[in-house]
């Protein structure tokens, strides 16, 4: 009997009778091993696949095999591992081997002096380019964490130049994206996963999948991971269109690329661009090589591609996610809330001069905007993360389904609105990955110790909280022993949340602001308490984002003009941040040499924005208005103090337009943008 042919014909029959997705996931890659005593032994990938087949398909398979007087026995092949192969375009050379003649340095780190740092190790983190926010819109939160997992595995593989590979088990990769191993395998075997991750992670096809023999073994699957983010299909198409439409205007290939490097991002890759079926993800370098390989020398083309890449994906715009968060917090938050917290944290702000922390974030577009960040169409889902409760049939009815969300994010009650999805929402964000209440309880002596000794390992588990109506609690933890050299990990267990109970936390850690960002959430605004207004010194209260209300009040815009601008803004469907940036752009224009004849800067700004809220004054003025108030004020402060603002592109634009402005006019523009200058 040819057992391979027997199993092949069985697979053909199953393929006709089963849904394609189920067949591809569980059946296609099975391998027949042997036949003895009327039993056909078939190897499957792992225990999950065996259990699925035995519970759902064994009777069907036995019915097909009965014609040959056989029955099936599914067994698990040897442990499967994944191979992640990294390909990079890095120009870094391999580190040379150090020999004795080079001189050796013996360097060892001192122990962390902070218990929080000992546990969380914030230096152990995944760093994503801020541009990944645009990818998140198209691939969604689940696959967003999948890419984080592959990217971290690729980083651990250690490639600096050329390519390098390393092996990881499914369990390891699952732990790096906060899911179970079973969920990981389900996603890996779903063809839709690889269609959405196209351009980010690629399966290497070809070659044998199994090593045959007495004990069959499946060969590792191989992947390549993009370490330099490609443009999304939509952005690649938008950039290509802009270049082809403007090439004649700028005199050819080199001219149009130099123009692109200083053009606004809204011109090059607008967020509201519509996808095209033929669009494919491409790196900036690959796209420019497609267009101009025969028109420009390789060195010049690569140099311009690098500059354009830095313009689209600024090097200082990074999303930092600690490995502690991924491994110990994310599994309890789930994918969607995990990304929401990550993006909200990214928008929190610390004033580097005063150390003031701002961890209250207002999302102007409400639940609908947050859903848009994550590529979701149902705003109600975001509300559910905070408020959905278990059904009466659940073993713990009436309790919140995901109480951990409220530990790290707390929605601040605001004015009620009829527009549930798009009403502004404010959130207080916990910036620590390990709440300090937990840490304090772990390190104080007022608890009963568990049996342990030196070098013991403990888990921090949240205990059940009291279940009273509308109660507010601080986090408390199960007592456990603490000894020298103990290592702690956080394992958030189920704790009882009844009837809108809240968990209160404190916040002390901060994140650095990004002076130049590419953010797909333009209406996200970090705020202090209360909302930004003129501060005590007459200066702008919020230096992280342009605040429309402050600009209107500070420039004495009459109520009619304010209403007209807001009405036009609503008709154009733009965010309030776009309107604020446009207002700043027109103010800059009015005080520049180009707008020297403008007698009424405020009237001009109101008039132009009512005509088109999507456009500021254009060019240099839009670019400066894209900076945060803090970054733009730094240019003014340096210039007005007689200090060179620097040699950055924005500093050059500033000096070209405002350096020679009369001091009295500089101070007037400063007041209109930020309030009173220092010392005035």
pLDDT, one tens digit per residue, over 305-344 is 999 999 999 888 889 999 899 988 999 999 999 999 999 9
Q: Can you tell me whether residue 201 is helix, strand or coil?
A: strand
Q: Which of 415, 433, 227, 478 is nearest to 324 (CA)?
A: 433
Residues in the chain, overall count:
680
**Alpha carbons 288 and 558: distance in angstroms, whole number:** 48
Q: Can you tell me whether residue 634 is helix, strand or coil?
A: helix
Mean pLDDT value of segment 187-208: 83
Q: What distances in angstroms separate CA 511 from CA 133, 231, 352, one per listed residue?
A: 18, 27, 10
Say whether pLDDT at 524 is over 50. no
What pLDDT, on a 0 to 100 scale, did the predictor assign at position 449?
Answer: 38
Say whether pLDDT at 48 is over 50. yes
Q: What distances in angstroms separate CA 576 from CA 55, 209, 565, one per listed residue?
A: 55, 54, 10
What pLDDT, on a 0 to 100 scale, did the predictor assign at position 69?
Answer: 87
Residue 470's region, left for phi above 0, alpha for psi from -120 to 50, else beta, is left
What pLDDT, on a 0 to 100 scale, did the predictor assign at position 89?
Answer: 39
Enumerate domains of the chain plus CATH numbers: 3-76 (3.30.300.180), 81-91+116-226 (no CATH), 233-312 (no CATH), 329-504 (no CATH), 541-674 (no CATH)
**Alpha carbons 121 and 102: distance in angstroms, whole number:** 33
What are phi and psi for residue 71, nearest 5 degrees? -135, 160
- pLDDT greater at residue 105 or residue 370: 370
Say whether pLDDT at 99 is over 60. no
Total Cβ atoms within 10 A of residue 194: 17
pLDDT band at 572 (very low <50, low <70, confident <90, very high): confident
Give pLDDT tens digits for 252-275. 899 999 999 999 999 999 988 887
Tokens of residue 15, six digits: 């393929």
Q: Are 333 and 404 in contact (CB under 8 A)?
A: yes
Tokens of residue 640, six digits: 């007005």
**Alpha carbons 136 and 111: distance in angstroms, whole number:** 37
Looking at 197-283, list the stretches that DSSP marks H as alpha helix, in order from N- to C-terminal side.
233-246, 253-262, 265-268
What pLDDT, on a 0 to 100 scale, did the predictor assign at position 209?
Answer: 59
Q: Residue 189: CA atoms inside 13 Å, Cβ hemisphere, count? A: 22
Paired with 168 in beta bridges are 82
Give pLDDT tens digits for 336-345. 999 999 999 9
Mean pLDDT value of segment 465-489: 34
Token pair 């009650």: residue:
413
Q: Which of 555, 558, 541, 562 is nearest to 613 (CA)?
A: 562
What pLDDT, on a 0 to 100 scale, did the predictor assign at position 115?
Answer: 76
Burial class (CB in 10 A: 0-12, 13-18, 19+), 9: middle
Contacts of 582 (CB under 8 A, 6+ apart): 605, 608, 609, 613, 614, 615, 616, 625
Contacts of 88 (CB under 8 A, 6+ apart): 159, 160, 161, 162, 163, 227, 228
**Alpha carbons 579 and 585: distance in angstroms, whole number:** 10
What pLDDT, on a 0 to 100 scale, did the predictor assign at position 230?
Answer: 94
Rg (C-alpha) for the chain, rounded Å, is 29
Q: Rounded to the nearest 5 degrees, what angle is found at the Cα of 85, between the Cα atoms of 176 and 47? A: 55
What pLDDT, on a 0 to 100 scale, did the predictor assign at position 306?
Answer: 92
**Alpha carbons 494 and 464: distance in angstroms, whole number:** 7
């Amino acid at each position: 009997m040819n057992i391979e042919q027997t199993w092949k014909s069985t697979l053909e029959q199953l393929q006709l009778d089963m849904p394609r997705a189920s067949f591809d996931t569980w059946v296609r890659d099975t391998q027949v091993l042997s036949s003895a005593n009327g039993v056909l032994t078939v190897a499957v990938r792992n225990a999950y696949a065996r259990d699925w087949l035995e519970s759902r398909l064994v009777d069907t398979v036995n019915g097909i095999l009965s014609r040959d007087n056989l029955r099936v026995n599914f067994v698990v092949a040897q442990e499967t591992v994944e191979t992640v192969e990294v390909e990079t375009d890095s120009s870094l050379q391999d580190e040379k081997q150090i020999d004795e003649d080079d001189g050796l340095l013996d360097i060892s780190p001192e122990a962390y002096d902070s218990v929080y740092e000992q546990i969380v190790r914030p230096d152990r983190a995944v760093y994503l380019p801020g541009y990944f926010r645009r990818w998140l819109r198209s691939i969604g939160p689940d696959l967003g964490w999948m890419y984080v997992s592959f990217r971290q595995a690729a980083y651990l593989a250690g490639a600096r130049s050329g390519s390098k590979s390393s092996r990881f088990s499914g369990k390891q990769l699952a732990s790096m994206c906060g899911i179970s191993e079973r969920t990981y395998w389900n996603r890996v075997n779903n063809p839709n996963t690889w269609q959405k991750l196209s351009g980010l992670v690629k399966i290497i096809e070809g070659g044998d999948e199994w090593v045959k023999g007495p004990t069959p073994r499946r060969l590792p699957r191989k992947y390549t991971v993009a370490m330099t983010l490609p443009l999304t299909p939509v952005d690649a198409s938008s950039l290509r269109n802009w270049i082809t439409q403007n090439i004649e205007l700028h005199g050819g290939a080199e001219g149009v690329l130099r123009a692109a490097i200083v053009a606004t991002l809204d011109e090059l890759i607008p967020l509201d661009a519509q996808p095209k079926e033929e669009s494919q993800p491409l790196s900036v370098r690959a796209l420019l090589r497609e267009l101009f390989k025969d028109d420009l020398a390789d060195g010049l083309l690569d140099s311009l591609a690098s500059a354009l890449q830095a313009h689209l994906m600024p090097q200082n715009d990074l999303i930092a996610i600690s490995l502690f968060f991924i491994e110990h917090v994310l599994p309890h938050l789930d994918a969607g809330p995990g990304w929401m917290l990550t993006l909200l944290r990214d928008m929190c702000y610390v004033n580097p001069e005063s150390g003031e922390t701002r961890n209250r974030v207002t999302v102007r577009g409400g639940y609908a905007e947050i859903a848009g960040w994550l590529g979701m169409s149902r705003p109600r889902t975001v509300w559910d993360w905070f408020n959905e409760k278990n059904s009466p049939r659940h073993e713990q009815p009436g309790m919140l389904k995901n109480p951990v969300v409220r530990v790290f994010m707390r929605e601040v009650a605001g004015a009620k609105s009829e527009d549930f999805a798009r009403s502004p929402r404010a959130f207080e964000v916990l910036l620590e990955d390990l709440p300090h209440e937990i840490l304090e309880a772990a390190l104080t002596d007022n608890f009963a110790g568990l049996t342990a000794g030196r070098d013991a390992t403990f888990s921090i588990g949240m205990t059940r909280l009291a279940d009273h109506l509308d109660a507010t609690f601080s986090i408390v933890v199960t007592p456990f022993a603490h000894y020298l050299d103990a290592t702690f990990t956080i394992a958030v267990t189920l704790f009882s949340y009844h009837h809108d109970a809240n968990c209160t936390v404190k916040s002390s850690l901060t994140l650095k602001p990004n002076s130049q960002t590419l953010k797909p959430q333009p209406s996200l605004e970090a705020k202090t308490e209360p909302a930004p207004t003129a501060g005590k010194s007459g200066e702008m209260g919020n230096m992280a984002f342009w605040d429309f209300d402050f600009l209107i009040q500070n420039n004495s815009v009459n109520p009619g003009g304010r209403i007209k601008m807001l009405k036009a803004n609503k008709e154009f469907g733009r965010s309030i941040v776009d309107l604020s940036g446009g207002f700043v752009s027109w103010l800059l224009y009015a005080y520049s040499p180009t707008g020297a004849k403008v007698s009424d800067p405020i009237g001009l700004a109101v008039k132009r924005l009512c005509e088109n809220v999507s456009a500021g004054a254009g060019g240099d003025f839009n670019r400066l208005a894209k900076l945060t108030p803090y970054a733009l004020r730094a240019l003014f402060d340096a210039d007005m103090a007689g200090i060179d603002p620097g040699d950055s592109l924005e500093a050059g634009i500033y000096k070209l337009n405002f350096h020679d402005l009369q001091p009295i006019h500089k101070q007037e523009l400063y007041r209109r943008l930020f309030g009173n200058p220092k010392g005035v």
